[in-house]
Amino acid sequence: MNTEKTEKFQSVLYLNGVTKSFDGFKAINNLSLDVSPGELRAIIGPNGAGKSTMMDIITGKTKPDKGEVRFKDNIDLTRHDEADIANMGIGRKFQKPTVIDSLTVWDNLDLALAGNRGIWQTLVFKLSSNQCERIEEIISLIGLSEKTEALAKNLSHGQKQWLEIGMLIIQEPEVLLVDEPAGGMTDYETMETAKLLKDIAKNHSVIVVEHDMDFVRALDCTVTVLHEGSVLAEGSLEKVSADPRVIEVYLGR
Ligand SMILES: Nc1ncnc2c1ncn2[C@@H]1O[C@H](COP(=O)(O)OP(=O)(O)O)[C@@H](O)[C@H]1O
Ligand SMILES: [Mg+2]
């Protein structure tokens, strides 16, 4: 095996020289990113830096104009569509929860576990004991053990977000992308979310975009600062927040 290939195998996600323009404006400009298996990575940067567009490119929602976007065993993600990429094991959590309000916490997870089984079969057929255990495991992970039979509509905003994260994790993605999870959460929920993502990162790679600096500090992981579609700085939060360029474009505002 040549060394170049060995190196690529060590990344779960690898972006190199990625560029994407919208009407001539470079939302992503020669962007590179390298995420290891099992890594927790925070992405910060001012509004319009290209954070969400980067996630759109990874998940196949947006095709880059040029550059490499690779997933683990050298899979070229630019050749796959959104549904394929989700099935390959890249899960994405959007800001707006998509849980079904009229179902319980348990039934929402059951549906998510079912995946292709479909809603009708899911509600009619009995779960195996393995499946029940898996749902219970996830409910405990997301801290909703007391809420198993609660309807999703009666959960707090934060609890709904955790349920949604649980619904993604139950499908066992290798990589979880989370865009601004702390928006609208209380301080307590924000800190619990940081703990949850740290727990999840024990078994998955997690990339999380967030503005809340207390949250990013609690994640205690490598931080990538995006600015004008490129990486401006990368390293510990301590290191990047001492970088004069980061202070100038982001933190100092
Ligand atoms: N589909 C699109 N069409 C046109 N411009 C877009 C589109 N998506 C993003 N942009 C532009 O790309 C830039 C980066 O946006 P975005 O990735 O949402 O930034 P962030 O998530 O860091 O705030 C912004 O200037 C935004 O207006
Ligand atoms: Mg965004």
pLDDT in tens, 184-196: 999 999 999 999 9
CB of 46 closer than 6 angstroms to any ligand 1 atom: no
pLDDT-derived band at 181 (thresholds 50, 70, 90) equals: very high
Count helices and strands (H / E) in the chain.
11, 10
Task: Please give the pLDDT value at position 97.
Answer: 72
Closest by CA position to 70, among listed 57, 83, 61: 57
Task: Please give the pLDDT value at position 113.
Answer: 87
Closest by CA position to 134, among listed 80, 172, 98, 165: 172
Kindly report the CATH number that applies to the domain delimited by 93-211.
Answer: 3.40.50.300
Residues of the chain with pLDDT > 70, as a percent, come to 91
Q: Whose CA is nearest to atom 5 of ligand 1?
A: 22
Task: Please give the pLDDT value at position 124.
Answer: 61
**115-160 confidence digits (pLDDT tens):** 655 566 656 667 778 889 999 999 999 999 999 999 999 999 999 9
**51-80 confidence digits (pLDDT tens):** 999 999 999 999 999 999 999 978 999 999
**What is the rounded average pLDDT of the residues 228-233?**
98
CB of 161 closer than 6 angstroms to any ligand 1 atom: no
CB of 22 closer than 6 angstroms to any ligand 1 atom: yes
Residues of the chain with pLDDT > 90, as a percent, come to 82
Closest ligand 1 atom number to CA of residue 23: 4
In Å, what is the CA distance from 15 to each residue of 18, 49, 132, 220? 7, 16, 38, 23
Q: Which ligand ends up closest to the CA of 45? A: 1
Nearest-10 crossing angle of helices 129-141, 187-200: 130
CB of 41 closer than 6 angstroms to any ligand 1 atom: no
pLDDT-derived band at 104 (thresholds 50, 70, 90) equals: very high
Rounded to the nearest angstrom, the distance between the alpha carbon of 47 and the centre of ligand 2 is 7
What is the reported pTM?
0.91
Phi-psi region of 198 (alpha: psi -120 to 50; beta: other; left: phi over 0): alpha
Rounded to the nearest angstrom, the distance between the alpha carbon of 21 and the centre of ligand 1 is 9
Q: Whose CA is nearest to atom 1 of ligand 1?
A: 22
Taking a C-beta distance cutoff of 8 angstroms, is the pair 229, 50 a contact?
yes
Task: Please give the pLDDT value at position 253.
Answer: 61
Domain ranges of the chain: 1-88+221-253, 93-211
User: d(Cα 167, Cα 110) in Å, to the nearest integer?
Assistant: 9
Rounded to the nearest angstrom, the distance between the alpha carbon of 5 and the centre of ligand 1 is 33
Task: Please give the pLDDT value at position 2.
Answer: 46
User: d(Cα 151, Cα 163) in Å, to the nearest integer?
Assistant: 11
CB of 44 closer than 6 angstroms to any ligand 1 atom: no
What 71-78 contacts at long range (C-beta under 8 Å, 24+ apart), as own/partner pairs, is 71/12, 71/13, 71/14, 71/175, 72/9, 72/11, 72/12, 72/37, 72/174, 73/9, 74/5, 74/8, 74/9
CB of 227 closer than 6 angstroms to any ligand 1 atom: no
DSSP H/E element including 232? strand 230-235
Residues 6+ away with beta carbon under 8 Å from 223:
41, 42, 43, 44, 216, 234, 235, 236, 237, 240
**Domains 1-88+221-253 and 93-211 are alike in CATH topology:** yes
**What is the rounded average pLDDT of the residues 152-180?**
95
Task: Please give the pLDDT value at position 5.
Answer: 47
In Å, what is the CA distance from 219 to each residue of 107, 139, 144, 145, 216? 30, 21, 21, 23, 5
Q: Which ligand ends up closest to the CA of 51? A: 1
Task: Please give the pLDDT value at position 125.
Answer: 66
Name the residue of 22, 179, 230, 253 to mutate for ligand 1: max ligand atoms within 8 A of Cβ.
22
Name the residue of 25, 51, 53 to mutate for ligand 1: max ligand atoms within 8 A of Cβ.
53
Query: Residues 123, 124, 128, 131: what is their CA dihedral angle, to the nearest 10 degrees?
Result: -10
Kindly report the CATH number that applies to the domain delimited by 1-88+221-253.
Answer: 3.40.50.300
Torsion 87-109-55-12 (CA) sign: negative
Sheet with 75-76: strands ordered across = 25-35, 13-22, 66-71, 75-76
Least confident range of 18-32, 83-97, 155-169, 196-210: 83-97
Task: Please give the pLDDT value at position 28.
Answer: 98
In Å, what is the CA distance from 187 to each residue of 133, 169, 184, 215? 31, 24, 9, 9
Rounded to the nearest angstrom, the distance between the alpha carbon of 69 and the centre of ligand 1 is 19
